[in-house]
A and B are shown apart, each in its own frame.
Chain A
Amino acid sequence: MTDFPAEVRTVDVRTVPWWPAAITLVAALLAAVLVPLTLDTSDIGSFRLSVVGYVLGAIVVPVGVAVHRFRREEAKRSPYYDPRYAYDKIAAVAMAVGVLSSVWHAFVVATELAR
């Protein structure tokens, strides 16, 4: 029979929370889904949806990414940090999708405002 050290330490493993990346992804996908729904720039419904799309893509997504990065950096300070690289990728993809979608929505909003 082998004797093991009696001391067993419990540590609090820190990971970046999932929800900022998830919210960012959902916002980006919504902004992207709104693009085909706003192709008719002469329709006032398109303008309304594009305002939503622009806010999602150009504001909510970057804020979500910022929150994700902030929380990740906080978690990194722990010696027991457990990285979640998939969340970083999700946030990066969401940022690209969101910003690109917001360009289209910006065009629709601008078109309506310029009439």
Chain B
Amino acid sequence: MRGRALLGAILGLLLAAAPLSAAGQTGELSDVGERSFADVAACVANSDTLLVSMVVDQSGSLQNTDPANERVGAVDTAIEALEGLRQTASAELDVQMNLAVFDGSYEELVGWGSLAGDHAQSLRDAAARELPVRNTGDFTDYRAALSGAERSLTSRSEAVDPDACKVVLWFTDGRLDVGESTQAARAELCAPQGIADSLRGNHIAVVALALFTEQGRGAVSQEDANLLRAVAEGSADGVECGTTPVPESFSGRAYLRASDAAALRRVFAGAGTLIEGGQQALSVTCPGQECIEGQFRVPLDRGLSGFRLVLDGVQEDRPPVMRSPDGQAVELVSGTAAEVGSGQLAASTKEGLTVVDLTFATGGSPGGSWVLDTHATPQQVTVIDLYYFWGVGLEIRAPEGLTIGESSPLQVLLSYADGTPVDPADYQSLAVRMQVGGQDVSLVPDGPGSYVTTHDVPAQDAPAALEIGVTAEAVSSPSSVGLGPVSGSARLQTVLPPSYATLLTHELRMPQIVGLGTTSGALQFRGSERGETRVCVDDVRIAAPELAGEVTVSTAGQCLAIPANDEVTWPVELSPAGAADGRIQGSLVLSMTSVDSSDTITVEVPVGASMMRPVNEPLRWGLVAGLVLLGLLLPTAIAWLTNLLNGTFRVGPRTVLAEAPVRLTPQGLEPQARTALLTLDDFRGLGFAKESRRSRIDGPVRLTRRLPLWPFGEVRYEAVTDDGVVVSSLDPYTLKGGRRAPAVSNFGDVFFLRLRPSPNEDGSYDGLLVIVDTDDPDLSTVIRRREDQVQRFRDWSALYERLEEQVRQDVEPEPAAVATRKSASPSAPVGPGGPSDAEARPSLWDEPRSSLWEDPPTRPEGDSVWDPGADSGRSGPAPSRDRERSDKPRSIFDD
């Protein structure tokens, strides 16, 4: 009866209460949402405490979606609606609220407090002060919002009222976005026994209020919108979140959407109205088809308790007028409170929203059509949202108790707020359905507003309490307004026969386990009047997340003796082996023994607790950074090492170097002063004692490598000379003004020319053909192969042009140098860079120099070719293949 009284108070005081909420844009409220709001309204009507956690998005996308900070007014509207609810419930309902924001984390701006007193103003002030500047967050982490709200609601509920109705009003404008971990966040939210299930299982109703624009910056895709809806409602267009179908025992959840910031106040107001038990009926624009010339007709059939109109766009200088069925007209200005017939008419206006409430506190409306004259014109339209209040309450009773092992009657009473039974004759149809323990049960009418059935409670494995749910739906007459569902639920405790102790605990709902820990609760018994009885733990049926490992349920002893008439508390502790996320659910099967120990009845008591492992965020991101760094450094280091090892020339005792005097013309190479391009005498060993890798090979040209800065790049090989010009057989033949030439690690594929930088009079260049090779199987083969290689080379013309280009390029910046070069003698050529350059690097051509060759090749006497050995000023016989050398390679002269 208290519930009906409360609802009556709510509806009655709605008129006197100042501004209540406006209807929101509720076109998208689903069936699930409707049922959920009905559940919340039923909970509110039957509880002493309503805890509302308002969680507001503070992500940076709000700068695009809500630049005018409309959410501040929307939060204000919600506070006002809930304040009105508190006022209507008078002293019986304590509405408490906190305000928090979220982006990548959850932050409470205003702590919990009752909306009585100054707390509502504190919330408003904080919203006005903080929310406009809270729009720079990087992420939109639904986990943070919901987990934070769950923790806050759970702890508040434990502190003030374990049976409080708990609601999260969760406002967001963006898709789930946690950077790289978005998919992980989605999984954490939506996995069975994940965060969404945890809230539902903890009977926390989630009302998602979405500002999802469809265009412009900050627009959210349908898929993302569906995800939010699924997080709230369980599923949406194929997207599922949490255990689906959502178990009946889970709490309600709903999703409301605004497509632009201006509609936010209406959405928030709609949420408030729906929590009160209102039912959305119509949303129209005046003038229009359903509002001709600005006249909106509201049919109010018998059996309805009233309606609410939310008007957006009312002309300030021409307030709307409401006309009753009997023609009485009332001008609706802010603060209007008038008695019209047997109804109470109230109106309030705030910041552009006008809320009109008509309520019949006793026995429903007598019927008739009400007309609202909005004075709207095509130039100044008014948007009207219409909500009906059925205003009936449900009471579930077991008049004779639910005795285990017996058949007991169950009764449902359907009545108006003042206790007047509902008359089915007032409706086209009225259906009342009951479920007991999830099973449908048939009800039969038993007088005005009364429906009855009987239920057998089994003697074995009997539940400690029966979960009974009832829903009522009706269609009004004659306007065919769909009403309901109005839902109510009750856990009616089963009763043991008098020779047993009475189990006073319906369900063991234990506090949340954070990290590794335990949680505890207590079973309460009252002893039988007939003597001492006994209870033992017969079985434990527990399901827990895998990480929780084995969950130990311990009691103080296996059995407990319960003295006659005594109230006894039996502590129960849940100890999971490990920390985990999710819920521990199951039951304790108690074996109750009668006074004379002749009979035993087993009773099942549900047990549950949620588990959460807090993530150490700094440690997590530190580890991520470390592991990612390791994951990047490792391949980088391996690539660098690979280059270091691979970027080498493979040499050995049979590695030989040949240098033969040649002349380069555009048509090709020709030997100087001899007929053969290569002879055996041109070869010498490089003196490597064993097979090895070398990053450089010195000789007439220095073969070297260049490691890439980017470790995944390729190693480049080059032939370098400090004197003259070096050319190779690889495109582009020569580089850097002729001082470098491309090479490859396999020196057998390439030949080099070290040339004098100044051409002869006929344009040819004198120099050396330089070859590094392996005398395998013998030098004759090498000579044949190499001569063949030179003969098959077809790009002499390109090579020559490239050489000319590089030599010219090197000389051109100093025009004076060109003149000097032309006049210079062949024995004193001008080096690259002009005379000063020649002076700076005279060694090869003019002066004795430090040797490039350890073992210069023999040259024919009197030969006119450029002879670097002669230039070097060395004296004594030229080394020949026959000379003994201490480091002579063992292979090249041996057969």
Contact = CB atoms under 8 A, between A and B. Distances in A.
Interface of A: 39-45, 54, 57-59, 61-63, 65-66, 69-70, 73-74, 76-79, 81, 95, 99, 102-104, 106-111, 113-115
B234 to A, nearest CB: 18
Contacts of A39: 183-184, 186-187
A55 to B, nearest CB: 10
24 contacts: A39-B183, A39-B187, A42-B187, A42-B188, A42-B191, A42-B613, A44-B546, A44-B547, A58-B630, A58-B635, A59-B634, A65-B639, A66-B641, A73-B642, A77-B746, A78-B746, A79-B746, A102-B627, A103-B628, A106-B624, A110-B620, A111-B181, A115-B613, A115-B615
Contacts of B626: 110
Given A54-B627, A103-B180, A73 B646 contact: yes
A41 B188 contact: yes
A76 B191 CA distance: 53
Interface of B: 180-181, 183-184, 186-188, 191, 194, 545-547, 579-582, 613-617, 619-624, 626-628, 630-632, 634-635, 638-639, 641-642, 645-647, 650, 712, 715, 744-746, 748-749
Contact of A66 (B184, B627, B638, B650): B638
A16 to B, nearest CB: 12
Contacts of A104: 180
A76 B745 contact: yes
Decide if the interface of chain B is mainly helix, strand, loop or mixed: helix
Contacts of B712: 95
A111 B615 contact: yes
A79 B623 contact: no
A65 B639 CA distance: 8
B650 A77 contact: yes
Given A42-B188, A42-B191, A42-B194, 8 more contacts: A39-B183, A57-B631, A65-B638, A70-B646, A74-B646, A102-B628, A106-B623, A114-B617
B187 A110 contact: no
Contacts of A108: 184
Nearest to B618: A114
A76 B630 contact: no
B639 A107 contact: no
Contacts of A66: 635, 638-639, 641-642
Contacts of A45: 546
A41 B620 CA distance: 12
Contacts, number: 125
Contacts of B581: 42
A58 B634 contact: yes
A106 B631 contact: yes
B749 A102 contact: no
Given A42-B194, A44-B546, A65-B639, A113 B623 contact: yes
A73 B641 CA distance: 13
Nearest to A79: B748
Nearest to B635: A62
Interface centre among A41, A108, A109 (most CB of B within 10 A): A41
A34 to B, nearest CB: 13
Given A99-B632, A114-B615, A62 B624 contact: no
A54 B626 CA distance: 13
Interface centre among A42, A44, A62 (most CB of B within 10 A): A42
Contacts of B546: 43-45
B627 to A, nearest CB: 3
B641 A107 contact: no
Contacts of A76: 744-746
A46 B310 CA distance: 50
Q: Which 3 A-B residue pairs are closest in the complex by CB-CB distance? A: A62-B635, A110-B623, A106-B627
Contacts of B624: 106-107, 110
Nearest to B188: A42
B643 to A, nearest CB: 8
A102 B632 CA distance: 9
Contacts of B188: 40-42
A69 B712 CA distance: 10
B639 A62 contact: yes
Given A79-B749, A114-B620, A115-B616, A107 B181 contact: yes
